[in-house]
Amino acid sequence: MGPDERARGLIRSLSEHLISGVAEEQWARSRRDFLTHGFAKVPFLAPDDMKNGIAEEIEALIAAHGVRREMSFKETGDTPRLMRNVRHQEISEHGSVIPAVYRSADFREALSRIAGEPVFECPYEPEQYVITELRQSGDTHGWHWDDYSFAVVWVVACPPVEHGGFVQCVPRTHWNKDDPQLHRQFIEQPIHSFALRPGDLYVLRTDTTLHRVYPLTQGRRLIINMGYASRADLSRTISHETMDNLWKAPEGQTA
């Protein structure tokens, strides 16, 4: 079976699961969590064969195409990004399951059900999907917002909470790229923390939820982030300073 045929089979399995394999209470609970915290843990969104297919592809891609990044950004208060990643371009060129999931109308409809509004493919390709790996002590994806409204994260590897790697969120916040005022955000809204384990998925309201990955002390965290747009995103001008710098090609490699 070729990679494209396997991807099509997994998409059929995903669609069937979303139609008949999710209980109404799971939908309702995830919607409440999303509205309350800007975060909802949704491991029920994908069957095991799809989670395994995603994990296998991510492991192969990070091994072959992972690039180390060590940066900070003034647009988010000089918070650090210490990680390895695989960009959208390499995933699109060498992956099959991930691009197929991202394009799935049934999967977007499931996300829309949780978000309470239509969810669209991100018009800015570098933010559609990216693989991130934290594996050194101190590695983190520091406090930030995203340019577009929604993200779903598939967790392939994650350490126990005592070793970091869990998610922290501050909902109902506003990103001023010229003056992010992170400390004031922490004072005015509570910080919520969420433990994760391999096989989890979670959905974030990424444009109004300040969020980070707590720094690792041990272990490994490996995920893929899939970014999506709201209807409002499609009609406004969005700049991409942090993403353009974070995901730019390594020196000597074309973009």
Which amino acid would we find at residue 45? L
Is pLDDT above 90 for 242?
Answer: no
State residue 240's pLDDT score. Answer: 58
Task: Report the percent of the chain where pLDDT is more than 90.
Answer: 86
Provide the 3-class DSSP secondary structure of residue 10.
helix
Q: Return the structure tokens found at 43.
A: 């491991």
Q: Which contacts qualify for 230-234: CB closer than 8 Å, 24 or more apart?
A: 230/115, 230/117, 230/118, 230/119, 230/120, 230/148, 230/149, 230/150, 231/117, 231/118, 231/120, 232/149, 233/120, 233/122, 233/123, 233/148, 233/149, 233/207, 234/120, 234/123
151 forms bridges with which residues in the sheet? 204, 227
**pLDDT band for position 4 (50/70/90)?**
confident
Domain 3-246 in this protein, CATH class: mainly beta
Mean pLDDT for the chain overall: 93
Of all helices (H) and strands (E), which one includes residue 115? Answer: helix 105-115
Contact 233, 148 (CB under 8 A): yes
Per-residue pLDDT, averaged over 70-75, amounts to 91
Question: Average pLDDT in the 219-232 region?
Answer: 97
List own/partner pairs for 31-34 with CB under 8 A and 24 or more apart: 31/113, 31/114, 31/116, 34/114, 34/115, 34/116, 34/203, 34/205
Note the pLDDT tens digit of each residue in 11-50: 999 999 999 999 999 999 999 999 999 999 999 999 999 9
**Rounded to the nearest 5°, which phi and psi values hold at 89?**
-60, -45
pLDDT for 81-131, tens place per residue?
999 999 999 999 999 999 999 999 999 999 999 999 999 999 999 999 999
